[in-house]
């Protein structure tokens, strides 16, 4: 390929030299600025304006007087505002410019033909420029060639991965059905046990009460011993009724949660399930054992946080909320209390009106927090969402998506948690034991569970009084294990469903993007783009949401992220990532051409389309061929 | 995590709901002791002054103005403290003088006393330097037609009459004696003389008597007022007037004339305040003070006569316009915190006479560079060199001309002016050179707040030389502005102005090139943490002048020094271009101004016209409003309408706030791009006409953009028309100020008809026409009887149009006659002052068009020539049938055919058009239509 081109170039250079010589004198007036394909149009002695408005004689062609309002008669002069001037640019690519550029003293065509009145001295730079352009084009073609190959592999991989995930989803759904049946059975069993335990407990309580009363009597009788014996009693009581206390604690906790979670439509059984979860997280104070415990854990943070800032912020929150609830009209007329401000604070405050910088006029601390935290949480705050949704710092789900699973609210929470986990590849579904066994041994883990449950259920004797504690705990444990597995399973199902519903391109070629994020460091910011999820601008620990995944645009050439953090006085932030062919995935040139409207470029082999490669090759061929065409003329 | 994020939300809400004018942060009259005192007095309630010891000296009349003897001068002064105390009323010195051309000057100041009392501040360097030399009396002797009355002539047909007791000054016609202007006719003249502070004088903390005399608090700020009360107030009556205009800057969306602020039938209103302030998100209609102040008022009435009054005083001023008690007279009350009476009465009689008289005192507008009249593209901020290149390329790509690209504060290194953020602008010279290669220019911002940073050379020099304004305790004043803690050069001092001017040399201003010009913003001065967002009144300037005395002129001196800097940079050969936000009387000599931080809404679009008209009437003709509106995001329709209107502003610049969406003209779809291109093209085609009008303004003081009544002074319909305006004598333009407006009523004044600029259709004069509103243009008309020179070839920038041929558009009046002018020079140097210009008058009569030389035969040593020819002459209103024209000298023929009024796709032929007469504009010639 290259050698013939080289020879051709030599030819081109000779020809173009001839052309330069030819243009040393101004070209004939009649052909000035006319494109080759239009030459015939202007051959007749009476010519029509292209818009049909009138006609003109050949004398009037390029006579420096505009006759056709559309500029037909003056392609080669600046007389008509709407005119277009064609330059051949031999050695480079032909160019059509506005005829207002003709004889304006600025060289626009590389062949210099647009400046023929002698006032500007334009060199013919077409060969140089054309060479550079051709080199550039050749490089681009080389990239495309390699890129097309990579792309084909990627497309294949993506297709396979997609098929695999689809198959897995089908399998998981089946397993879920089975496991769900088991859990239901266990639950039933567990409830029965608990009912029995409850009866027993009431009995015990009565007995204890009686004993206590007796003890008190004794205490009155023997004052000296009172304190010790009382302590002893309390200890004993605590020990014996530890479960009761925990239960109470949990009741309280449940109330809190109910208060916060209006969508909590759990059945009574559900509450109990929840209680169990709480007990475990309470006692163990370990990693939450299943998704259910995550919500109470959140509450714990909110209620018990020792972070002063947070508490202050929370209390400020109220007053700020009140202030914000005032009508803006009131705001306008309410004098801003500037009395307490230092000179600098006042200056900053007034300046902030123009700039919108975050300036908290009253509490430095809050201001600093605001600065530190950046805009990370603005998104959450702007769309008031139930606490558990906001908790998910990730927030890839819109309300709409969440509602899709509203038949089971648990699903949401677990689902989100799963997503959260999923950001960190180290903590994925597959790292879980159950997951591993699932992966390796097909449904064997399920079978095992089935057997185990069966045996547990059979072993338990309901008619034994008091309840056999070890048997009961077996049931409970089995129930917990199974429901934990079930929730993981469901979580995986929903995340897979969530993933698969996206549009991954005509050939599913963008499937691998789902689990990838692309980063680019520009000055102090790190930009992070996670296709199908979100994009953010990070500075240190603070993060600003540039947008949530919206869609592909321009037939998969642009990834659009919208509804990011709101800008002061401006729009919600948004990001358009333009994709272009490159040999590896690389995020570059993040820019904010318009306030809070970001753009970036992502090079990826996925954009190295074969058709485009052909176009480019065609273009290069045209560039190489052009001089010889003229040679023939 | 959650609560914190909520707090952020609330903060954001607080900030965004806070985006509106902060009424409470600015003082009203009641919170301003001098204003409250003066405003509370009804007419004739004060004991009156009387005149004594009238004498002639140095060509002017001098007299003593005796305070009322039976009463203490000031009601607020405890009457127990009496005659011998230093507080007792002292006589004032009155001086009257006349200037050529119908101007009377009145000065009233304290007598110099031996007691070492401080002289009151008189604003320096505003009046033209030769004003004092031009002072003279027409007659060697005073007349005294009646006892207690001194008269003397001012100009033919006008005289001044000074009544001695009670003191009153009347400017009147002679011999009829009809008054034109009068001073103290309502007996409201008051003058608080300086006095030492005594024990027990109010310090502002107490209530009652001493209210704000010696110290006053406003919000968190205390003004120490060490010199006590020193206000001046008086009434001025405009006789034969129906309306008064001027005293900018106020936002006026509902009226061209100043609406009455007091009197029967007037809703309670603040007086018009003149106090230069940086007002965040100002309202579209309010008497509060904005960025600049020109204490010059014009009056006009049904007798087709005008008059004017100018008070040279730079302290805070408040002006009441009283509802007319009788027809044909407008009374006004002028109140000022400090200073002296140095007032000028302009007798007219025509409105343009008043403008010329004012210009003869404060100067005519400077002749701008040609490029500065073209379109300017600005934004806060064009971020970096790539952004600049992209915007520049965008204009070319969309075939929209522009001449100047602007950089706002973010181009600097940390808002240290004269520096560049080298990360964003590593190669400022090359950037400017790239623009210059396309004939384009760049403007960078230079504000007066200097960052207090020891490593910043400007700060270092200013500190070392003691060049900063001082605070009340004598230390460098520190305020907060864009760079953070800042100080402000004491630009009142000529030495400091000199120093400042030197900073603009190419050697000093690194990264600047000769194609770079300057923008002065924030020069009110804006001080974010100061009282009313400006400098404390007790700050101290050069000569121990308090800031309160010089406040309204601070921006003026800054503008002056910057302009001088560019003049120096160009070795006196390059006309400066400096845009300033703050202004004062005389700012027209130094450059352009604009109406500051307006808002992208229809009301602000509407307000721009009365605002610019009033600026033009007070000398500041090179003015514009931010096209598109600074704050907020205009709907495309509003933006297009703004371009269509802004194309006729004398200063035509698109600008936008940092937080707005990008709004370069091509970002709103093809249709809107085409509409904006059309509007910008119209401006470019009219550049020869605009340039000619600027020449006229620089000679006569008559503004480029004119209220209708300036051209039609006897047409009462026009007196308060703030929706339409004239561009020069020949064009009438009316904006479209409402969304999706279907039809609009346009009043066309005068006897002659008007030709629509769009399609040449004629409309009768002295009538209102209901017109369909079109998307592609706003109503605009050429007056019959005029000739407008155009250039219809659209280039990248005005620079490339220099050699392009002209089109003359002749609109014939009912007697088939018309005339117009064309002024051309090199567009940038001062050679025109030595005769290097072409000035032609085109006269069409008896089917003959003649080009007459208007340049004086011996206008100077330099010549300007041009090879430009006229390529097309369109004659609107010519009866059909003409086929040929013969050109003399040379006896050449040119064809006549019916052609379109504008060269745009789809335009249809409407008028006889002379093809290629190709007569040179520099030559005398005659063209006869056969």
| Ramachandran angles phi, psi of B403, nearest 5° | -115, -25
CB contact under 8 A, A106 and B796: yes
Instruction: Give the closest-approach CA distance of A312 to chain B in angstroms.
Output: 9
Give the mean pLDDT of chain A: 71
CB atoms within 10 A of CB A525: 15
Question: What percentage of chain A has pLDDT greater than the value 90?
Answer: 26
Q: Chain B, 193-232: which have a CB under 8 Å from a chain A CB? A: 219-220
Task: Look at residue A305 in the predicted model and tell me its pLDDT.
Answer: 41
Interface of A with B in 584-613 (CB under 8 A): 592-597
pLDDT(A496) > 50: yes
Catalytic residues of B: 521, 524, 597
Give residue B454's pLDDT: 96
pLDDT winner (highest mean) among A477-491, B232-246, B850-864: B232-246
Four-residue CA torsion sign, A146, A148, A154, A156: negative
For residue A434, give every residue at least 6 positions away whose Cβ sits within 8 Å of its Cβ, in sequence order, or none: A445, A485, A488
Tokens found for residue A624: 């190489």
Mean pLDDT, residues B482-495: 98
Asked whether residue A271 carries a pLDDT value surpassing 50, the answer given is no
pLDDT of residue A358: 67
Query: Which residues in chain A touch residue B480, judged by CB atoms under 8 angstroms apart?
Result: 343-344, 346-348, 350-351
Q: What is the pLDDT of residues A427-451, one digit of tens each?
A: 344 444 444 444 444 567 777 777 7
Answer whether B398 touches A (CB < 8 Å): no
Residue of A100, A310, A356 with shortest CB distance to B399: A100
Share of chain B above pLDDT 70, in %: 93
Residues 6+ apart with CB under 8 A from B187: B43, B44, B45, B46, B48, B166, B235
Task: List CB contacts of A438: < 8 A, sequence separation 6 or more.
Answer: A445
> How much of chain A, in percent, has pLDDT values that exceed 70?
60
With contacts defined as CB-CB under 8 Å, which chain A residues touch B908? Answer: 53
Mean pLDDT of all residues in B617-633: 97
**pLDDT tens column, B583-619:** 999 999 999 999 999 999 999 999 999 999 999 999 9
C-alpha torsion A38→A44→A46→A51, nearest 10: -20
Residues 95-124 of A with CB under 8 A from B: 98, 100-101, 104-106, 119
Residues 6+ apart with CB under 8 A from B826: B832, B836, B864
According to DSSP, the residues that pair with A428 across neighbouring strands are: none
State chain B's mean pLDDT as an integer: 92
Q: Which of residues 44-83 of A touch B (CB under 8 A)?
A: 51, 53-54, 63-66, 69-71, 78-82
Provide mean pLDDT across the span A524-535.
92
> Which is more confidently placed, A596 or B852?
B852
Asked whether the beta carbons of residue A82 and residue B905 sit closer than 8 angstroms, the reply is yes
Residue pointed to by tokens 């001027």: B246
- Mean pLDDT is lowest, of A70-84, A409-423, A560-574, B526-540, for A409-423
Give me the residue from B14, B423, B903 closest to A324, CB to CB.
Answer: B14
Task: Name the closest residue on chain A to residue B410, using Cα atoms.
Answer: A355
**pLDDT band at residue B113, thresholds of 50, 70 and 90?**
low
Q: Select the residue of A323, A369, A592 nearest B4 (Cβ to Cβ).
A: A369
Question: How, if at all, do strands B705-706 and B652-654 pair?
Answer: unpaired
> Between these two residues, B859 and A26, which has the higher pLDDT value?
B859
Question: CA nearest A362 in B: which residue?
Answer: B11
This prediction has a pTM of 0.80
Query: Hey, are the CB atoms on B795 and A51 less than 8 Å from each other?
Result: no
Protein fold of B33-194+230-263+270-279+291-362: Immunoglobulin-like (2.60.40)
CA dist B108 and B750 (Å) reads 43
DSSP3 helix / strand / coil % (chain A, rounded to 5): 60, 10, 30
* pLDDT at position B351: 97
Interval B641-680: pLDDT, tens = 999 999 999 999 999 999 888 999 999 999 999 999 999 9
**Residue A270's pLDDT band (boundaries 50, 70, 90)?**
very low
Residue A524's pLDDT is what?
A: 86
B867 contacts chain A (CB < 8 A): no
- pLDDT for A190 equals 82
pLDDT above 70 for A579: yes
How many Å separate Cα B137 from the centre of its chain?
31
* Residue B271 DSSP class: P
The helices-and-strands tally (H runs, E runs) of chain B is: 15, 50
Contacts of A375 in chain B (CB under 8 A): 8
Whether B4 has its CB under 8 Å from any CB of chain A: the answer is: yes
What does the pLDDT look like over B354-401, one tens digit per residue? 999 999 999 999 999 999 999 999 999 999 999 999 999 999 999 999
Cβ distance of A64 and B657 shorter than 8 Å: no
- Per residue in B543-565, pLDDT (tens digit) is 999 999 999 999 999 999 999 99
The torsion angles phi and psi of A137, rounded to 5 degrees, stand at: -65, -40
Element (H, E) at B804: none
Stretch among A306-320, A527-541, A555-569 having the lowest mean pLDDT: A306-320
Residue B300 pLDDT exceeds 60? yes
The mean pLDDT value for B189-215 works out to 67
Task: Say what percent of chain B tops pLDDT 90.
Answer: 81
Beta strands in B693-847 (DSSP E): 705-706, 724-727, 731-734, 743-748, 754-756, 762-763, 767-772, 780-783, 786-790, 806-811, 818-825, 837-845
Strand partners, B320: B333
Least confident range of A323-327, B807-811, B894-898 = A323-327
Instruction: Tell which wins on pLDDT, A146 or A29.
Output: A146
Mean pLDDT is lowest, of A311-320, B455-464, B675-684, for A311-320
Q: What is the pLDDT of residues B319-368, one digit of tens each?
A: 999 988 777 899 999 999 999 999 999 999 999 999 999 999 999 999 99
First to last CA, chain A: 26
As a whole number of angstroms, the distance between CA B583 and CA B33 comes to 25
| Residues whose CB is less than 8 angstroms from the CB of residue B465 and which lie 6 or more positions away in sequence, other chains included | B499
* Chain A nearest CA to B726, separation (Å): 27
Say yes or no to pLDDT of B89 above 80: no
* Residue A278 banded pLDDT, cuts 50, 70, 90: very low
pLDDT in tens, A182-200: 888 888 888 888 888 888 8
Confidence grade of residue A240 (pLDDT, cut at 50, 70, 90) = very low
Q: What is the mean pLDDT of residues B476-488?
A: 97
Mean pLDDT of A576-589: 92
Q: How far is A328 from chain B (nearest CA, A)?
A: 5
- Mention every residue, 6+ apart, whose C-beta is less than 8 A from residue B612: B595, B623, B624, B625, B649, B650, B705, B725
- Going by C-alpha positions, the residue among A296, A488, A495 that lies closest to residue A387 is A296
DSSP run (H or E) holding A155 = helix A126-221
Quick one: which of A433, A445, A480, A434 has its CA closest to A183?
A480
Residues B597, B594: Cα–Cα separation, whole Å: 9
Q: Which residues pair with B444 in a beta bridge?
A: B407, B518
Helix H or strand E segment including B52: strand B50-57
Answer for the pair B696, B355: CB distance below 8 angstroms, yes or no. Answer: no
Mean per-residue pLDDT for B427-452? 98
Q: Can you give the pLDDT at residue A227?
A: 56
First CA to last CA across chain B, in angstroms?
88
Q: Give the Cα separation of B684 and B665 in Å (integer).
A: 16
- State residue A449's pLDDT score: 77
- Is residue B411 pLDDT above 70, yes or no? yes
């Amino acid at each position: 390929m290259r050698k013939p081109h080289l020879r051709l170039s030599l030819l081109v250079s000779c020809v173009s030299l001839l052309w330069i010589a030819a243009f040393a004198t101004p070209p004939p007036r009649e052909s000035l600025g006319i494109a080759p394909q239009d030459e015939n149009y202007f051959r007749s002695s009476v010519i029509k304006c292209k818009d049909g408005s009138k006609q003109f004689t050949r004398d009037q062609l390029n006579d420096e007087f505009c006759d056709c309002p559309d500029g037909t008669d003056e392609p080669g002069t600046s007389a008509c505002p709407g005119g277009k001037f064609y330059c051949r640019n031999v050695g480079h690519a032909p160019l059509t410019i506005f005829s207002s550029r003709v004889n304006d003293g600025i060289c626009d065509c590389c062949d210099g033909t647009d400046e023929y009145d002698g006032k500007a001295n334009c060199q013919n730079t077409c060969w140089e420029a054309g060479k550079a352009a051709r080199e550039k084009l050749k490089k681009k073609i080389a990239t495309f060639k390699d890129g097309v190959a990579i792309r084909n592999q990627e497309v294949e991989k993506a297709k396979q991965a997609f098929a695999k995930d689809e198959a897995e989803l089908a399998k998981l759904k089946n397993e879920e059905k089975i496991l769900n049946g088991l859990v239901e059975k266990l639950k039933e069993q567990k409830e029965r046990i608990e009912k029995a335990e409850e009866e027993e407990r009431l009995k015990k309580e009565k007995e204890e009460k009686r004993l206590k009363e007796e003890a008190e009597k004794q205490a009155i009788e023997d004052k000296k011993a009172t304190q010790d014996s009382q302590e002893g009693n309390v200890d004993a009581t605590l020990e014996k009724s530890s479960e009761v206390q925990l239960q109470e604690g949990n009741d309280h906790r449940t109330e809190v949660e109910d208060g916060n979670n209006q969508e909590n439509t759990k059945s009574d059984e559900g509450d109990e399930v929840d209680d169990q979860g709480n007990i475990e997280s309470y006692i163990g104070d370990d990693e939450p054992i299943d998704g259910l415990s995550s919500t109470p854990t959140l509450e714990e943070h909110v209620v018990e946080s020792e972070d002063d800032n947070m508490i202050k912020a929370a209390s400020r929150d109220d007053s700020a909320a009140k202030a914000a609830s005032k009508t803006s009209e009131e705001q306008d007329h309410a004098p801003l209390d500037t009395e307490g401000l230092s000179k600098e604070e006042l200056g900053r405050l007034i300046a902030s009106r123009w700039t919108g910088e975050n300036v908290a006029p009253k509490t430095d601390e809050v201001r600093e927090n605001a600065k530190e935290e950046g805009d990370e949480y603005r998104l959450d705050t702007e769309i008031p969402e139930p606490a558990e949704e906001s908790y998910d710092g990730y927030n890839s789900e819109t309300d709409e998506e969440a509602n899709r699973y509203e038949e089971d609210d648990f699903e949401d929470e677990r689902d989100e948690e799963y997503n959260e986990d999923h950001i960190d590849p180290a903590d994925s579904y597959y790292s879980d034991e159950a997951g591993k066994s699932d992966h390796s041994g097909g449904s064997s883990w399920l079978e095992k569970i089935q057997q185990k449950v069966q045996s547990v259920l059979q072993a338990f004797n309901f008619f034994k009084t008091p309840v056999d504690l070890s048997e009961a705990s077996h049931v409970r444990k089995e129930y917990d294990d199974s429901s934990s597995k079930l929730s993981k399973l469901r979580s995986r199902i929903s995340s897979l469903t969530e993933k698969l519903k996206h549009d991954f391109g005509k050939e599913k070629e963008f499937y691998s993007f789902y689990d990838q994020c692309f980063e680019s460091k520009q000055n102090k910011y790190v930009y992070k783009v996670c296709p199908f999820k979100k994009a953010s601008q990070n500075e240190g620990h603070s993060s600003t949401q540039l947008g949530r995944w919206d869609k592909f645009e321009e037939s998969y050439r642009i990834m659009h992220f919208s509804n990011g953090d709101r800008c002061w006085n401006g729009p919600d932030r948004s990001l358009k990532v333009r994709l272009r062919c490159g040999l590896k995935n690389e995020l570059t040139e993040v820019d904010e051409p318009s306030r809070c409207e970001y753009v970036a470029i992502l090079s990826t082999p996925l954009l190295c389309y074969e058709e485009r490669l052909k176009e480019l090759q065609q273009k290069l061929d045209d560039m190489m061929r052009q001089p010889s065409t003229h040679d023939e003329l | 995590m959650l609560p914190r994020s909520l707090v952020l939300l609330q903060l954001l809400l607080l900030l965004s709901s806070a985006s509106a004018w902060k009424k409470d942060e600015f003082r009203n009259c009641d919170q301003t002791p001098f204003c409250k005192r003066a405003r509370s007095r009804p007419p004739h309630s004060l004991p009156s002054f009387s005149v004594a010891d009238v004498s002639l000296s140095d060509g002017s009349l001098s007299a003593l103005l005796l305070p009322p003897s039976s009463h203490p001068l000031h009601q607020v002064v405890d009457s127990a403290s009496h005659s011998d105390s230093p507080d007792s009323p002292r006589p004032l010195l009155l001086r009257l003088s006349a200037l050529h051309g119908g101007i009377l000057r009145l000065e009233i100041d304290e007598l110099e006393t031996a007691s070492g009392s401080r002289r009151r501040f008189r604003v320096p360097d505003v009046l033209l330097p030769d004003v004092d030399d031009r002072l003279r009396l027409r007659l060697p002797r005073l007349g005294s037609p009646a006892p207690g009355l001194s008269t003397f002539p001012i100009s033919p047909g006008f005289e001044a009459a000074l009544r001695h007791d009670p003191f009153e000054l009347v400017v009147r016609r002679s011999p009829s004696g009809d008054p034109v202007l009068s001073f103290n006719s309502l007996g409201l003249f008051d003058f608080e003389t300086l006095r030492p502070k005594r024990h027990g004088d109010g310090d502002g903390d107490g209530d009652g008597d001493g209210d704000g005399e010696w110290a006053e608090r406003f919000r968190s700020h205390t003004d120490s007022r060490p010199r006590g009360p020193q206000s001046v107030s008086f009434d001025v009556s405009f006789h034969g007037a129906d309306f008064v205009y001027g005293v900018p800057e106020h936002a006026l969306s509902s009226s061209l004339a100043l609406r009455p602020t007091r009197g029967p039938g007037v809703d309670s209103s603040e007086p018009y305040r003149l106090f230069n302030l940086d007002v965040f998100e100002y309202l579209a209609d309010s008497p509060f003070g904005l960025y600049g102040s020109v204490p010059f008022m014009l009056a006009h009435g049904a007798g087709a006569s005008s008059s004017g009054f100018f008070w040279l005083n730079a302290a805070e001023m408040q002006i009441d316009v009283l509802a007319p008690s009788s027809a044909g007279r407008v009374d006004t009350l002028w109140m000022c915190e400090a200073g002296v009476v140095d007032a000028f009465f302009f007798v007219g009689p025509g409105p343009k006479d008043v403008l010329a008289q004012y210009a003869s005192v404060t100067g005519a507008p400077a002749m701008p560079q040609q490029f500065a009249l073209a379109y300017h593209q600005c934004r806060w901020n064009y971020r970096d060199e790539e952004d600049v290149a992209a915007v520049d390329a965008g204009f070319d790509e969309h075939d929209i001309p522009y001449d100047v690209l602007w950089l706002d504060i973010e181009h600097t290194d940390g808002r240290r002016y004269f520096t560049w953020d080298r990360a964003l602008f590593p190669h400022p010279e090359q950037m400017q050179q790239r623009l210059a290669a396309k004939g384009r220019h760049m403007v960078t911002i230079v504000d007066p707040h200097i960052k207090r940073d020891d490593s910043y050379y400007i700060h270092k020099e200013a500190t070392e030389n003691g060049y900063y304004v001082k605070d009340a305790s004598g230390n460098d004043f520190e305020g907060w502005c864009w760079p953070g803690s800042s100080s402000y050069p004491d630009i009142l001092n000529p030495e400091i102005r000199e120093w400042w001017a030197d900073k603009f040399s190419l050697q000093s201003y690194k990264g600047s090139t000769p194609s770079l010009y300057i923008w002065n913003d924030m020069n009110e001065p804006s001080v974010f943490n100061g009282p009313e967002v400006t400098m404390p009144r007790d700050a101290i300037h050069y000569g121990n002048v308090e800031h309160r005395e010089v406040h309204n002129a601070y921006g003026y001196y800054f503008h002056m020094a910057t302009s001088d800097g560019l003049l120096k940079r160009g070795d006196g050969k390059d006309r400066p271009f400096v845009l300033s936000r703050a202004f004062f009387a005389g700012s027209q000599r130094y450059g352009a101004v604009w109406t500051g931080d307006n808002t992208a809404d229809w009301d602000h679009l509407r307000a721009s016209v009365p605002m610019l008209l009033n600026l033009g009437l007070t000398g500041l003709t090179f003015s514009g409003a931010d096209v598109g509106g600074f704050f907020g995001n205009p709907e495309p329709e509003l933006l297009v309408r703004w371009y269509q209107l802004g194309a006729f502003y004398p200063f035509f610049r698109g600008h936008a706030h940092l937080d707005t969406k990008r709004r370069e003209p091509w970002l709103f779809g093809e249709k809107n791009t085409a509409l904006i291109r059309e509007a910008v093209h119209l401006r470019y085609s009219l550049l020869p006409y605009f340039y000619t009008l600027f020449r006229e303004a620089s000679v006569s003081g008559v503004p480029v953009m004119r209220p209708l009544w300036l051209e039609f002074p006897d047409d009462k319909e026009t007196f308060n028309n703030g929706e339409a305006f004239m561009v020069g004598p020949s064009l009438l333009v009316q904006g479209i100020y409402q969304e999706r407006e279907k039809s609009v009523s346009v009043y066309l004044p005068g006897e002659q008809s008007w030709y629509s600029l769009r399609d040449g259709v004629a409309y009768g004069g002295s009538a209102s026409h209901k017109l369909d509103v079109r998307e592609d243009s706003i109503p605009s008309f050429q007056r019959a009887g005029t000739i407008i020179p155009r250039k219809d070839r659209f280039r990248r920038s005005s620079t490339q149009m220099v050699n392009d041929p002209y089109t003359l558009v002749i609109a014939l009046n009912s007697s088939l006659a018309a005339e117009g002018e064309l002024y051309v020079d090199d567009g940038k140097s001062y050679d025109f002052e030595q005769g290097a210009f072409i000035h032609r008058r085109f006269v069409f009569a008896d089917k003959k068009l003649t080009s007459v030389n208007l340049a004086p035969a011996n206008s100077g040593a330099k010549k300007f020539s041009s090879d430009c020819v006229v390529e097309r002459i369109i004659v609107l209103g010519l009866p059909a049938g003409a086929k040929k024209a013969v050109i003399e000298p040379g006896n050449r023929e040119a064809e006549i055919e019916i052609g379109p009024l504008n060269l745009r796709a789809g335009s249809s032929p409407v008028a006889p058009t002379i093809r290629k007469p190709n007569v040179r504009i520099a030559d005398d010639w005659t063209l006869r239509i056969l």
